[in-house]
Every structure is written in C-alpha cells, then in structure tokens.
Amino acid sequence: MELRDVGYVIGDLARLGLVMARKVVTQSLADERAVLPQMVGELVGRIHPRRMQVRVAEIREETFTTKTFRLTPLDEPFPPFRAGQFVNLFVAVDGVRTSRPYTISSSPTRRAYIDITVRKMVNGFVSQYLCDRAAVGDQFELSDPAGCFYHDPIVDTGQLVFLAGGCGITPFMSMIRTEADARAGTGGCSGDPPAARGPGGSASHY
C-alpha cells in the first residue's frame, strides 16, 4: 500500500469517527435531559449542519496563480470551527458535480464569512474553474468544517513558528490571523483582521 493510499484510509476513518461521535453526543445529551434523541439531533444539526449554502461575496487575487474567495452564508450562520480546519466545496463544472477540500484561511473569530484560498493547478479540474470562471454572486455548497490539524491554545505553546510552502500555507494563515485577533482584542469582529504584526511581536510573511 502506498503512502497516498494510507492517507486516504486515515481520512475515511476520521470521517467515520466524526459521524459516530456525533451520534454518541446526540444520544448522551438526550439521556441527560430526558428528551427525544431526534430533538437533540436537530439542535446539533443546526449548530453543525452537514451542508451549507454559500455565496461568493468577494474575490481577492493573492498572486497570479492564487485567489482568495470570501464566502458568506445564504441562510444559517456559519458553525464554529478551529483555525486550521477545512471544508469541502461542492461545485458543478460543465455538468460534472464534484467537490474539493479547502482549508479555511480566515480566522474563526470572523463569523460573518469564511475565506478559502485556492491555487490554480496545472490540470486542476476545480481549481482552474474557480480561478478562471467563478465570479462574485456565484453560489456553492460547503460541508461542515472538519479536520484535526489545528492550534490548541490549551495544550500548545504560545510561541508559534510555522513552516509551509505553496498552498500548504493556508491553515497557518488562519492560525496567524486568529492569534493576531486575540492579541489585538478584536475577537468576534466581522471585518478584516488587523495588521499581521500584533502587540506581542507576532509577524507573518506569506
């Protein structure tokens, strides 16, 4: 089995674990409060919907091969997520419906939108469509945020050093912006984050 295949298996197991955990939490909450499990399931579904309808509110060109797409919700607010997690973007390209995972590059403190940063890849079926043809006002579907690669301030150090290249920088963009928000005391705002250099001396170069 190749390393790539191992990665696919781990990803499948992680998704299965999330589904099972969701069912366990739903049943546990129902048992504690003596309510019907489906009522708790509905509440959990509202907080963490499996699919979200979104609109492209802004497109920002980062480099000649990379664009950031700012997505805003069409109905329910975005669920909470951790800096470093990803979403699956569902698109229809020339009649072909498919999806691709993209790390959220915005801070989770900015609840009004989600940013994804996409690099146009050679022979990239979805990335070429997004970078060449997607426009402000287009509507897409997103999955619930997922993933276990994130900074945990409870167990991780406050001195952060990130090394990444290419499109692998996107989870660190979210982590750095989250840290900048926390140090500037602007958590929960809906606008753009402050300058990358915060009062604690944090600096980002990407």
CATH value at residue 140: 2.40.30.10
pLDDT for the residue numbered 193: 43
pLDDT for the residue numbered 45: 53
Pair 39, 71 in one domain:
no
pLDDT for the residue numbered 22: 54
β-pairing verdict for 114-119 and 139-143: unpaired
Pair 123, 184 in one domain:
yes
Residue-wise pLDDT for 56-113, tens only, equals 999 999 999 999 999 999 988 899 999 999 999 999 999 999 999 999 999 999 999 9
Pair 3, 83 in one domain:
no
pLDDT for the residue numbered 205: 47
Count of domains forming the chain? 2
Pair 60, 93 in one domain:
yes
Contacts 24+ apart (CB under 8 A), 73-81: 74/139, 76/46, 76/49, 76/52, 77/111, 78/52, 78/111, 78/113, 78/114, 79/47, 79/48, 79/49, 79/52, 79/144, 79/145, 80/47, 80/108, 80/145, 81/108, 81/145
Pair 42, 8 in one domain:
yes
pLDDT for the residue numbered 47: 52
Nearest Cα neighbor of 27 from 18, 40, 42 is 40
Pair 74, 146 in one domain:
yes
Q: Give 46 or 78, the one with higher predicted confidence.
A: 78
Phi, then psi, of 98 in degrees rounded to 5: -150, 180
Range of the domain at 153: 50-206
Pair 96, 192 in one domain:
yes
Q: What pTM does this model have?
A: 0.68
Pair 93, 183 in one domain:
yes
The lowest-confidence range among 44-48, 104-108, 118-122, 180-184 is: 44-48
Pair 125, 154 in one domain:
yes
What are the structure tokens assigned to 6, written together? Answer: 């191992």
